[in-house]
Chain A
Amino acid sequence: MIIDGTQEYSVNMGPQHPSTHGVFRMVVHLDGEVVTNVEPKIGYLHRGLEKMAESRTYNQFVPYTDRLDYLAGPHNSLGYVQAVEKLMGIEVPERAEYLRVIFAELGRVASHLFMIASGSLDICGWTPWSYCTRDRERILDLFEMTAGNRMTLNYFRIGGVSHDVPDEFMPALKSFLDDMPEMIEEYYGIFFGNEIAQSRMKSVGILPKELAENLLITGANLRASGVQYDVRKAEPYGIYNRFNFNVPVLYGCDTYDRHFIRLLEIQESRKILQQALRDIPEGPVVAKVPKVIKPQVGKVYHRVENPKGEMGWYIVSNGTTKPARVRIRTGAFVNVQMLPAIVTGWKIQDLVTIFASMDLVLGEVDK
Chain B
Amino acid sequence: MLNEILRVRVSELADKVTGQVEESLGVLELTINYPYVLEVLTCVKNFPDVPCDFLHDLAGMDLEDHFEVVYQLSSLRGPQRLRIIATVERENPVIDSATPLWKGADFLEREAFDMFGIQFRGHPNLKRIYMWDDFEGYPLRKDYVIDSHERRAMMRVRKEGE
Q: Which residues of A pack against B, CB within 8 Å?
A: 42-43, 46, 48, 50-51, 86-87, 213-217, 227, 229, 234-235, 298-301, 303, 310, 312, 314, 316, 325, 327, 329, 333-334, 336-337, 341, 366-367
Q: Given the interface contacts A43-B129, A216-B102, A229-B76, does A337 sit within 8 Å of B56 by beta carbon? A: no
Residue among A213, A217, A300, A334 with the highest chain B CB neighbour number at 10 A: A334
Whether the Cβ atoms of B83 and A301 lie closer than 8 Å is yes
Whether the Cβ atoms of A334 and B129 lie closer than 8 Å is no
Whether the Cβ atoms of A87 and B129 lie closer than 8 Å is no
How many residues in B have their beta carbons less than 8 Å from beta carbons of A? Answer: 33
Whether the Cβ atoms of A333 and B107 lie closer than 8 Å is yes
Whether the Cβ atoms of A314 and B103 lie closer than 8 Å is no
Contact of A325 among B61, B76, B107, B139 (CB under 8 A): B61
Whether the Cβ atoms of B72 and A329 lie closer than 8 Å is yes
When distances are taken between beta carbons in the complex, the residues of chain B under 8 Å from A86 are 25
Q: Which residue of chain A has its CB nearest to the CB of B125?
A: A39
User: Is B96 on the interface with A (CB-CB < 8 A)?
Assistant: no
Whether the Cβ atoms of B106 and A87 lie closer than 8 Å is no
Contact mask for chain B residues 118-162; partner A; CB cutoff 8 A; 1 contact, 0 none: 000000000001111000000110000010000000000000000
- Secondary structure type dominating chain B contacts: mixed
When distances are taken between beta carbons in the complex, the residues of chain B under 8 Å from A341 are 103
| CB within 8 Å: A-B pair count | 82
User: Is B35 on the interface with A (CB-CB < 8 A)?
Assistant: no
* CB of B83 to closest CB in A, whole Å: 7
Whether the Cβ atoms of B107 and A337 lie closer than 8 Å is yes
User: Is B94 on the interface with A (CB-CB < 8 A)?
Assistant: no
Contact of B54 among A50, A216, A298, A329 (CB under 8 A): A216
User: Is B55 on the interface with A (CB-CB < 8 A)?
Assistant: yes
* CB of A111 to closest CB in B, whole Å: 21
Whether the Cβ atoms of B104 and A298 lie closer than 8 Å is no
When distances are taken between beta carbons in the complex, the residues of chain B under 8 Å from A214 are 102-104
Whether the Cβ atoms of A366 and B130 lie closer than 8 Å is yes
Contact of B108 among A50, A87, A334, A367 (CB under 8 A): A334
Q: Which residue of chain A has its CB nearest to the CB of B101?
A: A214
Residue among A87, A215, A217 with the highest chain B CB neighbour number at 10 A: A215
CA distance A334 to B54 in the complex (A): 13
Q: Which residue of chain A has its CB nearest to the CB of B139?
A: A51
Whether the Cβ atoms of A216 and B55 lie closer than 8 Å is yes
Whether the Cβ atoms of A215 and B103 lie closer than 8 Å is yes
Residue among B62, B79, B81, B106 with the highest chain A CB neighbour number at 10 A: B106
Whether the Cβ atoms of A227 and B76 lie closer than 8 Å is yes
When distances are taken between beta carbons in the complex, the residues of chain B under 8 Å from A316 are 61
User: Is B105 on the interface with A (CB-CB < 8 A)?
Assistant: yes
Residue among A87, A298, A301 with the highest chain B CB neighbour number at 10 A: A301
Q: Which residue of chain A has its CB nearest to the CB of B106?
A: A337
CA distance A325 to B106 in the complex (A): 22
CA distance A299 to B107 in the complex (A): 24
